[in-house]
């Protein structure tokens, strides 16, 4: 009878220790999660999974989105100053005088969509000018020309000191990336 009682006590002790180990492990995980949240690491979370019969922890980064800064989005309409348009005149006082809006948008990479009714063209130029051998004033550098059909989208890069030129009746929507 004593042998049976000892075996029973061993089984109870093993079960008790197993439950204690599981509860301790769960409390440890809970403590890690609480510390992580309190330390401001709210852009990550722990995923606990079972792989091949053994437990492992894997940290997975969540997509970062800054709710404090809205994404810059605006439209440029040819012939309208809007927020970024500045009137510029080339070859002033000559028969080839050209006055247009140069759109000095913030430097960024933009997704641009033609929201007008016709195919349109976006030209990116430097803000500096030079005089050609023939004596005409022109932009010092051209950084790209994009021809977009209606509802077509492309990606452009505008750097500091560059401007965008569009012609009537063009209309484009810009979204900073």
User: Is residue 67 one of the residues assigned to a domain?
Assistant: no
Domain check: are 37 and 120 in the same one?
no
Record the tokens describing residue 134, joined without a space: 């023939």
User: Could you read off the pLDDT tens digit of each residue along the chain, which spans 177 residues?
Assistant: 566 666 677 777 777 777 877 877 777 767 777 776 665 544 443 343 333 444 434 333 333 444 567 889 999 999 999 999 999 999 999 999 999 999 999 999 999 999 999 999 999 999 999 999 998 999 999 988 999 999 999 999 999 999 999 999 999 999 999
CB-count exposure of residue 137 (10 Å: 0-12, 13-18, 19+): middle
Domain check: are 25 and 101 in the same one?
no
User: Is residue 53 one of the residues assigned to a domain?
Assistant: yes
User: Is residue 111 one of the residues assigned to a domain?
Assistant: yes
**Domain boundaries, position 57:** 2-61
Please say whether the beta carbons of 126 and 139 come within 8 A: yes
Domain check: are 30 and 50 in the same one?
yes
Please say whether the beta carbons of 104 and 138 come within 8 A: no
Going by C-beta distance under 8 Å and a sequence separation of 6 or more, which residues neighbour residue 60?
44, 45, 47
User: Is residue 66 one of the residues assigned to a domain?
Assistant: no
Record the tokens describing residue 59, joined without a space: 């940290």
Determine how many CB atoms are found less than 10 A away from the CB of residue 140: 10
């Amino acid at each position: 009878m004593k042998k049976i009682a000892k075996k029973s006590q061993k089984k109870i002790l093993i079960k008790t220790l197993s439950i204690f180990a599981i509860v301790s492990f769960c409390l440890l995980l809970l403590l890690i999660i609480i510390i992580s949240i309190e330390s401001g690491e709210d852009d990550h979370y722990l995923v606990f999974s079972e792989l091949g019969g053994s437990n492992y922890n894997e940290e997975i980064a969540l997509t970062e989105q800054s709710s404090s800064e809205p994404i810059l989005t605006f439209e440029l309409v040819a012939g309208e100053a809007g927020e970024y348009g500045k009137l510029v005149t080339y070859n002033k006082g000559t028969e080839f005088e050209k006055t247009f809006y140069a759109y000095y948008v913030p430097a960024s990479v933009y997704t641009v969509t033609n929201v007008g009714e016709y195919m349109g063209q976006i030209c990116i130029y430097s803000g500096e000018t030079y005089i050609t051998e023939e004596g005409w004033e022109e932009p010092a550098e051209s950084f790209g020309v994009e021809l977009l059909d209606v509802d077509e989208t492309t990606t452009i890069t505008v750097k500091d000191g560059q401007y965008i030129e569009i012609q009537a009746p063009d209309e484009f929507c810009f979204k900073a990336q």
